[in-house]
Amino acid sequence: MGCYTTRAVKPKIHPTWYPDALVHCACGSTFTTGSTHQKISVEICSACHPLFTGQQKLIDTAGRVDKFNQRAAAAEQKKAEAAARKAARESKNSAASA
């Protein structure tokens, strides 16, 4: 006799179990699994994940890559402005000492 029997499970505290829960992926793939939800939506499944397909795929749902590129460009612009200010200051100091 296994440890998971009807006597071992308390009544009325467990969620409903759906053995044929339908999973929809963003790539269009669908499959069934057991879950406490009847329908599940996912962004990546085994049909489209790079580990299983061997193809690199960029998923940018929240614009994170764009935000990072904007921050990197702003940082480079600030570095260039700081270098220009430093060069102007040094040329001003060298002209004053001459």
The set of residues, in sequence order, having a beta carbon less than 8 Å from that of 27 and lying 6+ positions away, is: 44, 45, 47, 48
| CATH number of the domain that residue 55 is part of | 4.10.80.400
Domain that holds residue 79: 61-98
Beta carbons of 48 and 25 less than 8 angstroms apart: yes
Q: How many domains does the chain have?
A: 2
Domain match, 9 and 47 both: yes
Domain match, 11 and 42 both: yes
Q: Give the residue carrying structure tokens 């614009």.
A: 63
Residue 37 scores a pLDDT above 90: yes
Beta carbons of 58 and 76 less than 8 angstroms apart: no
Estimate the share of the chain in helix, then strand, then coil, as percent rounded to the nearest 5: 40, 20, 45
Domain match, 27 and 43 both: yes
Is the alpha carbon torsion for 36, 39, 42, 46 positive or negative? positive
* Model confidence pLDDT, tens digit, residues 71-87: 999 999 999 999 999 99
Q: What percent of the chain has pLDDT over 70?
A: 84
* Model confidence pLDDT, tens digit, residues 7-20: 666 778 888 889 89
In this predicted structure, what is the pLDDT of residue 1? Answer: 46
Strands ordered across the beta sheet of 18-25: 30-35, 18-25, 39-42
Domain match, 20 and 50 both: yes
Residue 51 scores a pLDDT above 80: no
The average confidence (pLDDT) of the chain is 84
